[in-house]
Structure 1
Amino acid sequence: MHPTGGLLIAVLAGTCLSSTYAADGGPQNGFGFTGPEIFPIDPMINLLRHGDFDGDGREDLIVVNNSRSKLNILLNRTGETNRVEDTKVGRRDINQLPPDARFEIQSIASEKRISAFVVADLNHDDRPDLAYYGEPKELVVQYHEGTNSWSAPKRFPVSDGRL
C-alpha cells in the first residue's frame, strides 16, 4: 500500500439500529444510524449495490473494483459468533486496516473496466444476478447459481454503448 494511505478506500455503510440513545445517554425507542463503518478494499471502487448473495437472508454488499478488474462481494456476517479469522502474521503497511469480522470479502473477476452495473433477478429464480457494461464495449451477465457460485460470463457485444 502507498505510505500516505492514498490507496486505502473505505466502504461507508450506515447501520440501522433498533433503538437510539436519548441525550441523557439512556436507550430510547426509535430509528437511527450508527456512525460510518470502514472496510479495507482498494482504490477506484464504485457502484455500490446490495443483495443476498449467499442465501442467508441478510443483505450483502457488492462493489466494482476497477483497480483490480473484479467485483468485491462483502458477505454480511452480522450476528455470527465463534468465527475463526485467518490472521496473517507480519507487519501491516502504514494506514492499512485489518479486515472486519462483520463482512467477509470475496471476489469475482470482471476482466474489464466497468462503467455501469446492476444487481437484479434476471432469470426469475429468486436469486440476484449481475449485469455490467464497460470497456471493452460489451454487456456481461452472470447468473447466480446458488450459495457463492456464479455462471460463466455471458457476453453481448454493444459497440454503440456509452461509457
Structure 2
Amino acid sequence: MGVSGCGKTTVGERLGQELGLAFIDGDSLHPAENVAKMTAGTPLNDADRAPWLAAVGRELAGSPGGLVIACSALKRHYRDAIRAQAPEVFFVHLAGSREVLAARMEGRTGHFMPAGLLDSQLATLEKLGADELGVVLDISAPPKILVGAAVVRLEDQRAGQRRSGARR
C-alpha cells in the first residue's frame, strides 16, 4: 500500500515471487470511469473508490492460499473495507518523502496517474494504525531489501498467529 510512485508494483511483483504467490496490480481492478478521472488529473472520492476496494477485497478473499495485491489503501476505512472481505490481510506500507515520490512519478512513462495528484494522495494518506496487521517500510531502501523486510515481518506475524492459536 502507499501513494502513487512508492513502488507498489515493483515490490509487489518481487514479493509475490519470493512467497510463491500470484501478484495483481490493483490498478487493473479500477473501473474505467476511475481511470478516466485520474488520467484527467481529478482525484477519486470515496464513492469512486468503493467498487474498486470491493474488487480488491474479493480478489484477496478468493485466494485462500494467498495473493499479493498492489493497492493504495490510503485511508483506514479503505483498509477496513478490504479487511471486511479478507480479515487476515497484511499491509506493507511503502513510505517515502514527497521529493522521492515526485521524482519517481515524473520519471515513469505509460502510467495513467499524473504527478499532479501526488499532493492529493499524500493529504489523504492515513498511516497504519497500531492495531492493523502490517509493516511500514522506507522506500529509500532497494526493492530487494524491502521485499526481505516484508517477508520477515509477514513470517513473524504468521508465527505469532500460530503460537496464539496453539494456546486456545
TM-score by length of 2: 0.25
Bigger share in strand: 1
Larger radius of gyration: 1
Bigger share in helix: 2
